[in-house]
Amino acid sequence: MALVSTFLLTTPSWGEVYRVVFDALTETYVNKSGQTVQAVNLLFRDLVDTKGLNGPDAVKSVTVTAPDGTVFDLTGTWNEWQKQYFERYSATAFNSQTLIGGTYKGTVVDQDGKKLTASDALPKTLSFLPLPNVTNPLPDGTTTVDSLTPTITWEKVTGAQFYCLELWDQSSNQPVYYYPHNRINVYRNNFTIPAGVLRPATNYGVRIEARDSDKALAKRSRTVWINFKTQ
Put residue 46 in one of left, alpha, beta given phi > 0 → left and psi -120 to 50 → alpha.
left
6 half-sphere exposure, CB direction, 13 A CA radius: 4
Mean pLDDT of the residues in the chain: 89
The pLDDT value given to residue 13: 47
Reported CATH class of domain 3-122: mainly beta
Query: Do the beta carbons of residue 5 and residue 43 sit within 8 Å?
Result: no
Query: Do the beta carbons of residue 122 and residue 42 sit within 8 Å?
Result: no
Start-end of H helices in the chain: none
The pLDDT value given to residue 57: 82
| Rg from Cα positions in the chain | 19
Condensed to tens digits (0 to 9), the pLDDT of residues 81-125 reads: 888 999 999 999 999 999 999 999 999 988 888 888 899 999 999
Per-residue pLDDT band at 17 (split at 50, 70, 90): very low
Same fold, 3-122 and 134-230: yes
- What is the three-class DSSP state of 76? helix
Closest C-alpha among 133, 139, 174 to residue 154 = 133
Average pLDDT of the segment spanning 177-193: 88
166 vs 9, higher pLDDT: 166
pTM of the model: 0.86
- 134-230: which CATH number, 3.40.50.1100, 2.60.40.10, 3.40.710.10, 3.20.20.70? 2.60.40.10
Condensed to tens digits (0 to 9), the pLDDT of residues 23-56 reads: 999 999 999 899 999 999 999 987 776 677 777 8
Domain boundaries, the chain: 3-122, 134-230
